[in-house]
Amino acid sequence: MPASALKAAGARTAGSEMKIEIELRKMLPLPFFPARKLYVRPDEIRLKHVLASPAPKAPELPAPLLRAARLQEEAEKAKALEYERTHIMSRPFREIGRYTSKAFFDLFQAVKRSWSREGFTGIYVKEYRYKLDVSGGWALDGGRALDRLVTIKLEA
């Protein structure tokens, strides 16, 4: 079969192999040092377990209960909006409270994760072991795409 026919049929050629980009970052970011990037084939990556958890099944509620819940939610939103409109002077204090509490919460979560190593899993790339951030990082659609592309070797 000629090369043009193979290309038209969608067969892989040596130059068109799919590669995955892996960005290696330091735990303590140093200025002026960019993150290292690796470009590897999917068969060179190995995981110990599946990254994506199965989607939770939502219980099916009858239509009258769903309608009542939606009406109650709309009433609560209208009440909150009315409160915002009538209490203008205290709005900056409510807003700053929301943002500062989130910032402190995120800071404490990051410190906890760094000490307990929570939210990381091992990943092997070309027989080197790295830590993959599964809770705070970006891993292709919650890990579902990565699970389909790489080798998963379940260990007991």
Block mean pLDDT (10 aa), the chain, length 156 = 44 67 79 87 88 78 90 96 92 85 85 83 89 73 78 74
* pLDDT attached to residue 129: 92
* pLDDT attached to residue 68: 94
* pLDDT attached to residue 4: 46
Asked if residue 132 lies in contact with residue 139, where contact means CB atoms within 8 angstroms, the answer is: yes
Alpha helices in 62-119 (DSSP H): 63-86, 91-116
> Which residues have a Cβ under 8 Å from the Cβ of 52 and sit 6 or more positions away?
141, 142, 143, 144, 147
* pLDDT tens column, 88-98: 998 888 888 88
